[in-house]
């Protein structure tokens, strides 16, 4: 009987012990206040109101923290390099944003199990129409406007010469100078544009030779103007048309400083301008200070939808596949527990539901 009682007590103790362990999965951190680094990177992490944070990564982290009964405070960071420095030096215990897992970063700190599959995409200025103002600007830049002004001066001079001749040779030619100049200008432009005129030419063989030369010059002028405008429009289209990563060579590309996008563009020897504020980058894109902005696809899409008033859009497919995870200092005791809970949330469908809510079902 005593033996049965002892076995019963041991069984109860075992159950109680296992229950305690299950209810306190991260007991080492129960009495600590974790420092959680956050970075403005919509829709993954953002400050919805002073001191209040939200977003895909924030919601996921707070779900994990609740399950593990973790106390924490948010530590805002102004840039990716600042966040990485604090994480590597142990100034923070967790980095909660859409951090991309790379081999270089794994040498600096650890990561949890990836929770999101992402990649890079290109944002461009949607207003890529070739307006008359842009055409005039391009013609002036390449020196065509000066040449056209010379042509115009020649046409005006020819108008004056024709007026002098017609006043002497044609009886019914308008004798008022403004009427005569207008009539002659129409005659000169008609010959220059299509080689036809209602005026009688200068009599004799010399007149025919002069008429032929003028006709040839008119055709050459029209051909030159047409080819100039066409070449400028073609050049502008080739220069500004961006449909994918293959079109970024030779163009100034904006990226966020310290991000995987910067690493990708630099590794492909692109002209890069790094930013710490995405609003400034988009403003430069709109004002044509940069030709494209490369960033994480989900963030760009979210920013575009949040600002329908801006002339921006995303082009081309997603490239440079990435894995997003939470960053941890080297040999952090949190890693195993967070990984277990992340896998559980994935198995029960929480991660899928969260992704659908932020990015739709795809």
Q: The domain spanning residue 298 has which CATH number?
A: 3.40.190.10
Domain extent at residue 293: 243-320
Distance CA 189, CA 185 (A): 6
pLDDT digits 0-9 by tens, 285-333: 999 999 999 998 988 988 888 889 999 999 989 998 889 999 999 999 9
How many domains is the chain partitioned into structurally? 3
pTM for the model: 0.56
Residues 137 and 94 reside in one and the same domain: no
**Does 270 reside within a domain?**
yes
Q: Is residue 314 part of a domain?
A: yes
List pLDDT tens digits, range 49-89: 888 999 999 999 999 999 999 999 999 999 889 999 999 99
327 shares a domain with 313: no
Query: Which one, of 154, 162, 129, lies nearest residue 224 by Cα?
Result: 154
Q: Give dist(CA 121, CA 235) in Å, integer.
A: 25
Q: Which position has the higher pLDDT, 92 or 5? A: 92
In a domain, 341, yes or no: yes
329 and 313 share one domain: no
Q: Quick check: 315 and 248 in contact, CB under 8 A?
A: no
Whether residue 333 contacts residue 28, with contact meaning beta carbons closer than 8 Å, is answered with: yes
User: Does 126 reside within a domain?
Assistant: no
User: Are residues 145 and 167 both part of a single domain?
Assistant: yes
Residue 305 pLDDT? 85
Do 280 and 313 belong together in one domain? yes
Least confident of 103-107, 182-186, 266-270: 182-186
Q: Is residue 104 domain-shared with residue 198, that is, in the same domain?
A: no
Task: Kindly state whether residue 172 falls inside one of the protein's structural domains.
Answer: yes
Residue 9: inside a domain: no
For residues 187 and 139, state if they share a domain.
yes
Task: Judge whether 124 lies within some domain.
Answer: no
249, 236: one domain: no
Pair (107, 193) in one structural domain: no
First and final CA of the chain: distance in angstroms? 64
Specify whether 251 is located in the same domain as 233: no
Residues 313 and 251 in one domain: yes
Whether 165 and 248 share a structural domain = no
């Amino acid at each position: 009987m005593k033996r049965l009682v002892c076995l019963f007590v041991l069984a109860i103790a075992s159950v109680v012990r296992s229950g305690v362990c299950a209810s306190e999965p991260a007991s080492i951190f129960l009495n600590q206040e974790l420092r959680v680094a956050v970075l403005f990177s919509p829709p993954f992490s953002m400050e919805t109101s002073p001191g209040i944070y939200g977003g895909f990564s924030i919601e996921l982290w707070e779900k994990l923290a609740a399950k593990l009964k973790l106390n924490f405070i948010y530590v805002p960071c102004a840039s990716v390099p600042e966040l990485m420095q604090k994480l590597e030096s142990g100034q923070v215990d967790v980095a909660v944003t859409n951090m991309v897992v790379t081999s270089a970063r794994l040498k600096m700190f650890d990561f949890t199990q990836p929770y999101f599959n992402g990649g890079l995409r290109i944002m461009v200025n949607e207003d890529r129409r070739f307006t008359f103002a842009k055409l005039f600007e391009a013609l002036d830049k390449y020196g065509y406007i000066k040449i056209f002004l010379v042509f115009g001066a020649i046409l005006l001079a020819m108008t004056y010469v024709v007026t002098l001749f017609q006043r002497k040779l044609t009886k019914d030619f308008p004798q008022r100078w403004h009427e005569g100049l207008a009539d002659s200008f129409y005659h000169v432009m008609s010959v220059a544009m299509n080689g036809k005129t209602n005026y009688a030419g200068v009599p004799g063989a010399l007149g025919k030779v002069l008429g032929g030369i003028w006709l040839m010059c008119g055709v050459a002028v029209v051909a030159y103007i047409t080819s100039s405008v066409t070449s400028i429009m073609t050049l502008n289209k080739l220069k500004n048309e961006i449909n994918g990563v293959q079109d970024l060579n030779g163009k100034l590309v904006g990226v966020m400083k310290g991000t995987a996008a910067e690493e990708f563009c630099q590794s492909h020897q692109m002209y890069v301008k790094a930013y710490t504020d995405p609003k400034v980058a988009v403003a430069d894109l709109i004002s044509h200070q940069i030709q494209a902005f490369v960033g994480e696809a989900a963030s760009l899409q979210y920013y575009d939808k949040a600002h329908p008033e801006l002339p921006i859009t995303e082009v081309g497919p997603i490239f440079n596949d990435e894995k997003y995870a939470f960053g941890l200092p080297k040999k952090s005791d949190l890693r195993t527990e967070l990984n277990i809970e992340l896998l559980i949330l994935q198995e029960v469908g929480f991660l899928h539901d969260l992704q659908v809510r932020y990015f739709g079902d795809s």
